[in-house]
Amino acid sequence: MCKAVERRLSRLTATRLLVFVAAAVAAVALPASAGAGQPVTSYPTHHVFAVLTDVCPFPVAVEGDSPGTERDYFDESGALTRIEVHATEQDTFTANGKSLTGEPYAFNIRILFDSSGAITQFVFAGVVERVVLPDGSLFLAAGLVDFAAHGFPEALIAPDKGTSGNVEGFCAALSP
């Protein structure tokens, strides 16, 4: 073989070796979750109906729909590890023959699972409720709600961390 061909083959072999080494290093350096694949995205609408007994001195029914985007994450074995939801909801509250309709509000939910599939965290963050009351004032609750700590109720309107303003006005608007 002539020297030019030998040099070209030598450079080609060196390039192939470099590409192989780079690929091997990248495979080792990538986090294990990279093998888990892309999250599964869906667009569900969740319907809420619950009776709140811890807000006013009387029961208050709440009903609403929350269309949104849900992303489900899985580990390498296909087990569900996390769910993230971004949605917008609008609720109607009724009690004593009266009703209040809230303004649409956006929120995020993050649910984490352990290796056995049990929920280890269920956190709601954002606006919890926004209602313009008949007197023109505003009932606004916003912050962080840990649904797991409350036993996974269907609905809550008071955040664990954050603010829940004008509960008195909310209850007065629905009182008998």
**What's the CA gap between 104 and 129, in Å, rounded?**
8
pLDDT, residue 116, reads: 92
Contact between residue 133 and residue 99 where contact means Cβ atoms under 8 Å apart: no
Residues 6 or more apart whose CB falls under 8 angstroms from that of 104 comprise 88, 89, 90
67-114 pLDDT tens trace: 999 999 999 999 999 999 999 999 999 999 999 999 999 999 999 999
Cβ atoms within 10 A of the Cβ of 154, count? 12
- Spell out the domain ranges in the chain: 3-30, 33-174
At 149, the amino acid letter reads A
Picking from 123, 124, 126, the residue whose alpha carbon sits closest to that of residue 141 is 126
pLDDT, residue 36, reads: 65
12-51 pLDDT tens trace: 333 233 233 333 333 333 344 444 678 999 999 999 899 9
> Which one of 7-16, 17-26, 126-135 scores highest in mean pLDDT?
126-135
- Give buried/exposed letters for 28-54 (b at 16+ CB in 10 A, else e): eeeeeeeebeeeeeeeeeeeeebebee
Give me the count of residues in the chain: 176
19 to 9, 60, 67, 94, 105: CA distances (angstroms): 15, 66, 47, 67, 51
User: pTM of whole model > 0.85?
Assistant: no
pLDDT, residue 12, reads: 30
Pairing of strands 98-101, 119-132: unpaired
Place 158 in a pLDDT band, splitting at 50, 70 and 90. confident
52-66 pLDDT tens trace: 998 999 999 999 999
Token digits of residue 155: 């609905």
**What's the CA gap between 92 and 108, in Å, rounded?**
20
88 to 3, 53, 103, 115: CA distances (angstroms): 70, 24, 10, 30
The whole-number average pLDDT for the span 139-155 is 85
pLDDT, residue 132, reads: 96
The whole-number average pLDDT for the span 116-144 is 92
Q: Is the pLDDT of residue 6 over 50?
A: no
Which stretch of DSSP H or E encloses residue 91?
strand 80-95
